[in-house]
Amino acid sequence: MSIGIAIGLGVIPTAARPAATTAPVNVVKPFFEGPLTQGQSAAVNPGSWTGLPSPNFTYAIKRGATTVSTNPAYVWTAADVAAGAGAMTVEVDAANDIGPTTAISDPVTIAGPLQLSGTPGTAFVGSPYAFTPVQSGGHAPYSFALSGTPQTGLSFDDEDGGISGTPVASGTASLTITVTDADGLTASLGPFNLTVSSAASPGADATDLSGTGVTAAVHYHLPTATVTTSGGRITSITDRMGLANASEGSAGVGPLDVTDDRGRRFARFTNAEWLKIAAALVSDTRAFAVFFVMRAPRGGPGSPAQSYFSQGVNGSTPPNTGAATVSVATSLKQAPFLVGNNIAASTDAAKRAKILVGAQMQVVGVVSRPTANGAQRLYINKEFASVAQIPVSITGIAGAEIGRFAFSPAASGTWAEMDVYEMIIVTGLVTDAQADAAAAKIVDNWAIPAVTDTVVIMGDSLSRGIPPVSGYQSLGALLTNPGSPISLPASTRVINIAIGGYKVADLVLQRDAANGMLAQTLPGKNIIVNHVLTNDLNAGTTAAAAYSALVAFWNTTSTGALQRGWSGLQATNISRSGAIVQPMIETLRGLLRDPQYLVDTGTNTGGAFAGKMGLLELANIEAGGAKRFSTAADAANTTYYSGDGLHPSVVGVQRLADGGDTPANGYFATISAALAA
């Protein structure tokens, strides 16, 4: 019987087949077919080859230099995604009667699974509303579609999946948002209910303290107060109780008059503003309570003196109480604890982790009593810490100041940095039960949820922001603006403790300090978002040494950030001008993207902290169709940099926060995905 092989339409007898004269020759490189996305099949195509008889193929799919599979139907994994840009290749060995030949594919980058996440908040009739889902993974370009019909006044954006507008009637709509990527993969958010409430936006009405046993002596509620302004600054605010209005401390130093995306007015203090309260307010240091509804965008280590409120008025014999009635700790290494009359919440070991002032909307309160009546109670929302009372007892204090410490105000530029929406002052003794009830009423009126997760922005001045970037243009503020499409969930405490000039060694000291930020974990997710190393490199540290120091910050027996219960998002450094440091930055990016980084930090599959590390790909952010933070040439672009070739501009910080044309690479989407994981 004759045996042959088919070629075209004919059959060549075995004896007539051409003998192989050379090993197989690769004509077209091997390549991967199908989506390069986690969870999808690698689908290896061996490419095109010449040579008879046809070669037999064997495969080695590689992550860097490591073979991860010899099966051409390999499924992409999270480790492949974490390996970073250009990490994956396939090596094909083709063998015939003469011998084998090896060909290697071009390297590819694996994307995370296509996902949509986010929790649409309640909309309110007549108030601006905006919600944009967080898209991550997959491959651009993306398209979005909506199933269901949003309420009248709200519209859907098929470019980013956002829903925005001003609703005109109450009701509930069942909606589903679907994203489709370039490979045809889809992901959906929903179905979810979008509710439009006929009630006023949270906090649009002043807090009613009836039933608490507390009566306000002075009550400022910016959304409904009669407010006079001059040149965009507030010159006076009426007191709802009719006792003591607040007015600008002197001409031109009143806080900025601002309205948020939900239509609520507030007073913005930027380290250079303060208000005085009329002398009709008379108070004692040991029989006094004050509650704020406020935000503090960078209230913490490295800030100027953050004195939010003090009894007395400078120039009118203000009392020396040692510190302001309400302030925040300002040690370079201590967490931003709330402080009442010089006594920090850090002195309450059981509760202190919950009494930190952050950038999110929160209620901040200080209740002072004589020691025999329970001393002081310090509040963040409905949580409280019980601390000692200040030794000094002063009575009959006339007036007060908002935004600085009246006894020792120093110079403009060292005062509070905060947004104030509402402020309630109570004179006389307030019991624990009354204080708890008052705090709860204020929290409920503003619909502030319990804080369950923490996001800490660490690093140097690139993360903190320097002029012309103000506190309210910095990362912490941008990620917590009420109603903003890039605002993290209101249950997330966001604290920017980045400090200009810091190196990895400084972060280690900050990490290990007594009462430091990293000792204050919450029951939910605790995430450090770290952008550092530029100062190390600028000081002459090699890229390899800087990398080793960074790994030790994350992973050191008993003291590492990972050992302390934190997860990490490590940024790939943005570029800077200059021919010396920039190549080192690029080397560091390669080290961080290499799978060995996960092994070194113990966050690789099977590691002690598996899954607790991700990359924040700032260097890959695009805007206007091009990368903006990747090369030394990018750093010369004054649209995205401040002109020093190092620090991001106001626009640059915004793009770092929202990711520009590549949202998945920005702070908001990266953090949101980590919170949702």
The count of structural domains within the chain is 4
State pLDDT tens for residues 346-365: 999 999 999 999 999 999 99
Residue 18: what pLDDT?
A: 58
Q: Which of 128-142, 145-159, 559-573 has the lowest mean pLDDT?
A: 128-142
| DSSP per-residue letters across 208-230 | --TTTT---SEEEETTTS-EEEE
**Domain enclosing residue 97, as ranges:** 23-104
Looking at the structure, do residues 68 and 142 belong to the same domain, yes or no?
no
Looking at the structure, do residues 225 and 353 belong to the same domain, yes or no?
yes
Residue linked to tokens 């590549």: 662
| DSSP per-residue letters across 580-615 | THHHHHHHHHHHHHSTHHHHHHT-STTSTTTT-EEE
CB 469 within 8 A of CB 642: yes
Looking at the structure, do residues 328 and 239 belong to the same domain, yes or no?
yes
Q: Is 92 exposed, middle or buried (0-12, 13-18, 19+ CB in 10 A)?
A: buried
CATH number for position 392: 2.60.120.200
* Alpha-carbon distances of 120 from 190, 194, 348, 479, rounded to whole Å: 10, 7, 36, 16
Torsion of CA 413, 418, 421, 427, to 10 degrees: -80
Domain end (from 406, 441, 476): 441
Residue 2: what pLDDT?
A: 35
Residue 578: what pLDDT?
A: 85
CATH number for position 130: 2.60.40.10
Looking at the structure, do residues 666 and 524 belong to the same domain, yes or no?
yes
Looking at the structure, do residues 571 and 668 belong to the same domain, yes or no?
yes
Whether residue 399 is contained in a domain is answered as yes
Q: Which residue has the higher pLDDT, 483 or 581?
A: 581
Q: Which residue has the higher pLDDT, 181 or 197?
A: 181
Looking at the structure, do residues 308 and 415 belong to the same domain, yes or no?
yes
Average pLDDT over residues 170-178: 95
Buried b (16+ CB within 10 A) or exposed e, 514-535: ebbbbbbebeebbbbbbbbbbb
Q: Which residue has the higher pLDDT, 267 or 33?
A: 267
Looking at the structure, do residues 410 and 536 belong to the same domain, yes or no?
no
Separation CA 43–CA 31 (nearest Å): 9
Looking at the structure, do residues 347 and 427 belong to the same domain, yes or no?
yes
Domain end (from 441, 469, 499): 441
Average pLDDT over residues 8-17: 42
CATH number for position 487: 3.40.50.1110
% pLDDT > 90, the chain: 74
Residue 133: what pLDDT?
A: 87
| DSSP per-residue letters across 455-510 | EEEEESHHHH--TTS-GGGSHHHHTT-TT-TTPPPTTEEEEE---TT--HHHHHHH
Domain end (from 54, 71, 104): 104
